[in-house]
Homo-oligomer: A and B are copies of this chain.
Amino acid sequence: MKHLVALCALLIPPVLAEAGEPIATGDLGLVVERASGSVLIIDRSDHGAVGRVEGLGDLSHASLTYSPDERFAYVFGRDGGLSKVDMLQQEAVARTVQAGNSIGGAISDDGKLVAVSNYEPGGVKVFDADTLNLVADIPAAGKTIGLVDIPGRRFVWTVWDTGEVFLGDFSGEAPVITALGNAGANPFDAVVTDDAHTYLVGLFGEKGVTAFDLWAEKPGPRKFLTDYGKTGEDMPVYKMPHLQGWAFTEGQYALPAVGRHELLWVDRESLKQVAATPVHGQPVFVIAQPASPFVWVNFATPLNDTVQVVDSRSHEVVATLTPGKAILHMEFAPRGAEVWISSRDDNKVLIYDTRRREKVAEIDAQAPSGIFFTARAHQPGL
């Protein structure tokens, strides 16, 4: 394995490092290499890897967010490490181990603040995006999950242990923290819609999902899907689904049913379930293909060699692909022409044309998991 790593490093041409030739950042991205604590810098236009940054700690459950200029990535590691990666210089320019165990983070709408939600200890820490100096330390009565940015230098997060949801406003001299109410028993993840209108909290300790209208004067909890699965027997949950993958399409939410081989479709206005789609396994990510009626779904182990495409109008599976071994994540080109798929156990990132649904290229990567294009810098809630 060590030889392979060394070989891979040699094979990557140091394109960005060449003197004189300026590089634009709009089509770059990062692939989390979960076993080696590194990120691979990818170029979407060239279908290639252009560099690697190492030494980022435990990335076995990592995510990241981008600065507004699409130059810097803030990488949130499982070990509480927060690293600032410069994609042009191909190096970590700042790093802090800010907690014992963390779960993710977000950047403020103006790019000035980076917030991290922590397990050990719980709470939220907020850092200056430039220096990574600590700006605010907000304690919580447990593990924090579902941290998202909303406009006006604000963040929303949820506490796993108590079900409480908080809104933090960091636009003034001192943070102002407001309790929005209780989401329910053991919220496992949360997400905000792309218009920053609705904060959706998935529950594990009870059935259902809780919505908060963030445009309301006083946002409060509104529970839905409280009946789902009551008639069937639950299966063991092999992998908790990720709600950042929740698709919002055709006036609906497409949700992964926890512990079941099903997608659930909910009307965005009424919050009533409108359909269920039987799928290949327990869904992990349900992601809308941009500018299309389709969502793409991957699955929990041991059924994770498969990806399915579902039409949001008919709610039917229209394609079943088996791209490779241990499909962990998918990321679309922002206008939807391609989807990049990480196949962990093949050590490859696979690039599919979304119109023909055929592979057009592949890139070597070490146990790849999350794929993140810089276009995320411009999307509220990512």
Residues of chain B within 8 A of A381, CB atoms compared: 291
Other-chain contact of A24, B69, B109, B171 (Cβ < 8 Å): B69
Chain B nearest CB from A240 CB (Å) reads 27
Contact of A88 among B24, B70, B336, B338 (CB under 8 A): B24
A380: which of B150, B249, B336 is its contact (CB, 8 Å)? Answer: B336
In the complex the two chains form, what is the Cα distance from A269 to B195 in whole Å?
A: 18
- Chain B nearest CB from A216 CB (Å) reads 10
Beta-carbon contact of B291 and A109 below 8 Å: yes
Contacts of A338 in B (CB 8 A): 110
- Could you give, for residues 65-97 of chain A, a 1 whenever the CB lies within 8 Å of some chain B CB and a 0 otherwise? 011111100000000000000011100000000
Contacting pair A111 B45 (CB below 8 A): yes
Is there an interface contact between A337 and B109, defined as CB atoms closer than 8 Å? yes
Chain B residue contacts of A22, Cβ below 8 A: 22-23, 71, 88-89
The answer, among B23, B26, B69, B197, for a CB contact under 8 Å with A45, is B69
- Which residue of chain B has the shortest Cβ distance to A23 in the bound complex? B22
Distance from A351 Cβ to chain B, minimum over Cβ atoms (Å): 12
- Per-position contact with B for A246-282: 1 when CB-CB < 8 Å, else 0? 0001010000000000000000110000000000000
From residue A137, how far is it (CB to closest CB) to chain B in Å? Answer: 24
The answer to whether A375 has its CB under 8 Å from any CB of chain B is yes
Residue ID in chain B nearest A355 by CB atoms: B152
Interface readout for A296-329 with B: 1 if CB under 8 Å, 0 if not? 0000000000000000010000000000000000
Are B334's CB and A291's CB within 8 A?
Answer: no
Main DSSP-derived SS at the A contact region: loop
A14 at the interface (CB under 8 A from B): no
State the CA gap A302–B240 with chains docked (Å): 59
Q: In whole angstroms, how far apart are the Cα atoms of A238 and B71 in the complex?
A: 43
List, in ascending order, chain B residues with CB within 8 A of A313's CB.
215
A244 within 8 A of B: no
Instruction: Name which of A45, A109, A355 has the most chain B CB atoms within 10 A of its CB.
Output: A109
Q: How far is the CA of A333 from the CA of B149 in the complex (A)?
A: 15
B residues in contact with A221, CB < 8 Å? none
Report the Cα distance A107→B338, complex, angstroms: 16
A212 to chain B, nearest CB (A): 15
Is B374 a contact partner of A26 (Cβ separation < 8 A)?
yes
Interface string of A343-381 (1 = CB under 8 A from B): 000000000001100000000000000000011011111
Residues of chain B within 8 A of A109, CB atoms compared: 291, 333, 335-337
Note all chain B residues with C-beta closer than 8 A to A71: 22, 24, 26
Across the interface, do B26 and A378 meet the contact criterion of CB distance under 8 Å? Answer: yes
Query: Nearest chain-B residue to A28 (Cβ)?
Result: B69
- A-B contacts, 30 of them at CB < 8 A, read A22-B71, A24-B24, A24-B25, A24-B87, A25-B25, A25-B26, A25-B70, A27-B68, A27-B70, A45-B68, A45-B111, A68-B335, A109-B291, A109-B333, A109-B336, A109-B337, A110-B335, A151-B336, A151-B354, A151-B355, A152-B337, A153-B337, A195-B249, A195-B290, A195-B291, A195-B292, A197-B293, A291-B381, A335-B379, A375-B378
Other than A22-B22, A24-B25, A68-B333, give 9 A-B pairs with Cβ distance below 8 A.
Answer: A22-B88, A26-B67, A26-B69, A26-B70, A27-B68, A44-B69, A149-B335, A194-B291, A291-B381
